[in-house]
Amino acid sequence: MEYSELPANAAEMRLSPYKKDFQHSYVFGVFPIIELADNRPSALFRIILSSKLGEEGRRLLTEKAAAEGVPVTVDDRTIERLSPKENCFAIGAFRKFSAPPDADTDHIVLVNPSDRGNLGNIVRSAVAFGFRDIAVVRPAADIFDPHAVRASMGALFRIRPAYFDTFDEYLAAAGRRNLYPFMLCGSPMEAEAPDRTLPCSLIFGNESAGLEDAFAHMGTPLRITHENTVDSLNLTVAAGIGMHWFRQEVH
Amino acid sequence: MEYSELPANAAEMRLSPYKKDFQHSYVFGVFPIIELADNRPSALFRIILSSKLGEEGRRLLTEKAAAEGVPVTVDDRTIERLSPKENCFAIGAFRKFSAPPDADTDHIVLVNPSDRGNLGNIVRSAVAFGFRDIAVVRPAADIFDPHAVRASMGALFRIRPAYFDTFDEYLAAAGRRNLYPFMLCGSPMEAEAPDRTLPCSLIFGNESAGLEDAFAHMGTPLRITHENTVDSLNLTVAAGIGMHWFRQEVH
C-alpha cells in the first residue's frame, strides 16, 4: 500500500475543507473512524472531537488514537469548518492511499463513474461481496471525496484503490484474467457461470453512457436481464447484482 | 387509480416549490415528462418550458401536451422558482396518484424507508424487474418528493403506489400471499426459490434499522449472503438483488 506524503507539521497544521488535490481527506463519525484505525492505521494522522461527543464515543476514539500514536484534540471550530452537516461529532483526517491491483485476486473496475456517492456505495457492496481491489478509470469521481467516504460506511478503509488514465493502462497492470464487462449488448448474466480458472474483473461503465462499444469485444460481456420499460438500472444497483451473481455458487 | 383533487384554477394557478402536503408535485426534464404523459396522462395538468429548451424538446413536449389537452407555457420565472438545479429546461406538474395494492400481483413493500433518493431508485429497480405495486409503510419518505421522482428516472409513472399507516393495514389490503421479509436473521436467499403458488411480497426495512424482529415470524425471512466485514448492504442495492433473485428462473 502506498500512502500520500504529508507536510512535516501534519499533526498540527490547520485543516481546510476538502479539495480534490489534497494529499489527505476526512471521515466523519465515530464508527467510520474506528474502521479507519482498525483497517488502515497508517493512513490515520489526526482525530478531532466535538465537545458535544458522548462519553462512550470519546473513550473509544481516545483509546484508538493512543494505540495508533495519533493526536486527538477537542476542537469545535475545526469540526464546524470541515463538516458539511451539523450533527458531526468526530472527524478522522487520513492520508490518501493506493495500491497496484493484485494480479491474483478478482477486481471491480469502474470506468468513468461520475457520482461520488455511487462510488462510495459500490465500495460498500464490493467489500460485502469480498472484493478488495477496486480500479477506477479516469475521468472519474474522487473516491476520497468525503461524500464518497461517507457513502462507503467505512468500507473504503478495507479496499486497495487504484486510478488509471485509460483502461489499457489498467489491463497492463492487472495480469492475465477473465473480463466481464456489464453492458446492454451482453449475453444474459443469469445463464452464465463465472469462469474462475483465472482471476476475474467485473467491469462497469458510466452512469449515463455505460461502457463504450469496444468493450463488447473483450472477454464475456454480460447483461442483467430486466424489462425494457426502464433504460437501465442504477449503476450502484447493477454493480451490486453483478457482484452478487459472481459470488454465488448456486449456478 | 385515484388522483388527487386540484383547485378549479389548477391550469393557471401560481405554482410554488414543492411541499409534502401538496396535492401535486413536479417532474423535471423532457424525458421524464414524456414518461408521465405516456403512462399517467390523467395526472399531468401543466407543462412549463424554459426559453432555453432546444427545438426538439419543445416540439416533443408541445405535441404531447396537445395530445393530452394540457396547457404549455414558456415561463422562465416559474422554472427558476421550482427547479432546484440550474440546468432544468422543462417541468411537468402532476396530480398525486395512488392505488390499492392488486391482490393478484407481486408487491414490493417498503417499511419506513427514510431517504427519498433511495425510494426513487427502488421504484426504478422495481419497474425494471416487473413489479407495479409498491406499498410504503409510514413513517416514510415521500415518494412524490421531486428528489424521489428524479431518482426514479420516470419509473414512478409506471407504478401503483400506496401508503399505509401500519404493516397490518397493508396486509389486510393485500390479499392472501407469500411474504418474503429481507432481514439479517433470514435464511440464505441463494438457497431458496420463490414460491409462486400465491402472489408474493418482498419486504424491505429501514436504511439503518432494517425490519423489526416481528417480521422474523412472517412468511419466509431471507438474507442476502455477504461477508460480515460490512454491517449491511445499502437498501437500494439489497432491494435490487432481492428483486433480481425473485425474477430469475434459473434456480
Using one digit for the tens of pLDDT, what is the confidence trace for B21-55?
999 999 999 999 999 999 999 999 999 999 999 99
Q: Are residues A83 and A121 in the same domain?
A: no
Q: How many helices (H) and strands (E) does chain A have?
A: 7, 12
Query: Which one of A130, A229, A240 has the shortest CB-CB distance to B237?
Result: A240
Q: Are residues B36 and B54 in the same domain?
A: yes
CB within 8 Å: B229 and A121: no
Alpha carbons within 13 A on the beta-carbon side of A137: 22
Q: C-alpha grid cell for residue B207?
A: 436504511
Q: Does A101 fall in a domain?
A: no
Q: Which residues on chain A are in Cβ contact (under 8 Å) with B153?
A: 230-231
Q: Does A62 fall in a domain?
A: yes
CB within 8 Å: A225 and B237: no
Q: Are residues B117 and B28 in the same domain?
A: no
pLDDT score, position B251: 42
CB within 8 Å: B234 and A127: no
Walk across the sheet containing A160-164 and list its strands: A160-164, A133-137, A107-111, A200-204, A178-188, A222-223
Q: Does A102 fall in a domain?
A: no
Q: Quote the CA–CA distance of A126 and B226 in Å, as a whole number.
A: 10
Q: Are residues B84 and B169 in the same domain?
A: no
Q: Are residues B115 and B93 in the same domain?
A: no
Q: Which residues on chain B are in Cβ contact (under 8 Å) with A238?
A: 240
CB within 8 Å: B234 and A124: yes
CA A111 to chain centre: 14
- C-beta separation of A236 from A124 below 8 A: no
Phi and psi angles of residue A79, each rounded to the nearest 5 degrees, phi first: -55, -50
Contacts of B168-175 spanning 24+ positions with Cβ under 8 A: B170/B101, B170/B109, B170/B135, B170/B137, B173/B100, B173/B101, B174/B101, B174/B103, B174/B107, B174/B135, B174/B201, B175/B101, B175/B103, B175/B104, B175/B199
Q: Are residues B158 and B228 in the same domain?
A: yes
Q: Which amino acid is at B111?
A: V
Which CATH number goes with the domain that contains A34? 3.30.1330.30
Q: C-alpha grid cell for residue A218?
A: 473483450
Phi and psi angles of residue A31, each rounded to the nearest 5 degrees, phi first: -60, -45
pLDDT score, position A7: 85
pLDDT of A113 above 90: yes
Q: From residue B20, how far is each of A107, A157, B26, B59, B116 by CA, in Å?
A: 43, 38, 12, 32, 12
Pairing of strands B24-28, B90-95: antiparallel
Residue to test with chain B: of A118, A208, A226, A237, most B Cβ within 10 A: A237
Q: Does A53 fall in a domain?
A: yes
A115-125, pLDDT tens digit by residue?
Answer: 999 999 999 99
Average pLDDT over residues B68-97: 94
Q: Are residues A113 and A198 in the same domain?
A: yes
Average pLDDT over residues A80-103: 93
CB within 8 Å: A233 and B155: no
CB within 8 Å: A127 and B155: no
Query: Which one of B190, B240, B247 has the shortest CB-CB distance to A250?
Result: B190
pLDDT of A96 above 80: yes
Of B45, B74, B98, at which residue does a domain stop? B98
Of A96, A121, A139, at which residue does a domain stop? A96
- For B235, the 3-state DSSP assignment is helix
Residue to test with chain A: of B159, B224, B237, most A Cβ within 10 A: B237
- C-beta separation of A129 from A156 below 8 A: no
Query: Which one of A125, A130, A229 has the shortest CB-CB distance to B234?
Result: A125
- The chain A residue lying nearest B244, using CA atoms, is A241
Q: Are residues B114 and B93 in the same domain?
A: no
Q: Are residues B150 and B223 in the same domain?
A: yes
A204-251, pLDDT tens digit by residue?
Answer: 999 999 999 999 999 999 999 999 888 889 999 999 999 999 998 644
Q: Are residues A236 and A135 in the same domain?
A: yes
Q: Are residues B61 and B125 in the same domain?
A: no
Q: Quote the CA–CA distance of A50 and A36 in Å, as a whole number.
A: 18
Residue A209 Cα, gap to closest chain B Cα (Å): 15
Number of domains forming the structure of chain A: 2
List residues of chain A with CB under 8 Å from any CB of chain B: 121, 124-125, 127-130, 153-155, 158, 190-191, 224-227, 229-231, 233-234, 236-238, 240-241, 244, 247-248, 250-251
pTM of the entire structure?
Answer: 0.96
Q: Is A115 exposed, middle or buried (0-12, 13-18, 19+ CB in 10 A)?
A: buried
Give residue A129's domain range.
Answer: 107-247
Average pLDDT over residues A72-90: 92
- The chain A residue lying nearest B229, using CA atoms, is A128
pLDDT score, position B8: 86
pLDDT band at B249 (very low <50, low <70, confident <90, very high): low
Which CATH number goes with the domain that contains B202? 3.40.1280.10
- C-beta separation of A219 from A178 below 8 A: yes
Q: Are residues B177 and B124 in the same domain?
A: yes
Q: Quote the CA–CA distance of A53 and A197 in Å, as a whole number.
A: 50
Of B98, B120, B138, at which residue does a domain stop? B98
Residue B241 Cα, gap to closest chain A Cα (Å): 5
List residues of chain B with CB under 8 Å from any CB of chain A: 121, 124-125, 127-130, 153-155, 158, 190-191, 224-227, 229-231, 233-234, 236-238, 240-241, 244, 247-248, 250-251
Q: Does A156 fall in a domain?
A: yes
Q: What residues form DSSP beta bridges with B74? A: B49
CB within 8 Å: A234 and B121: yes
pLDDT score, position A186: 96
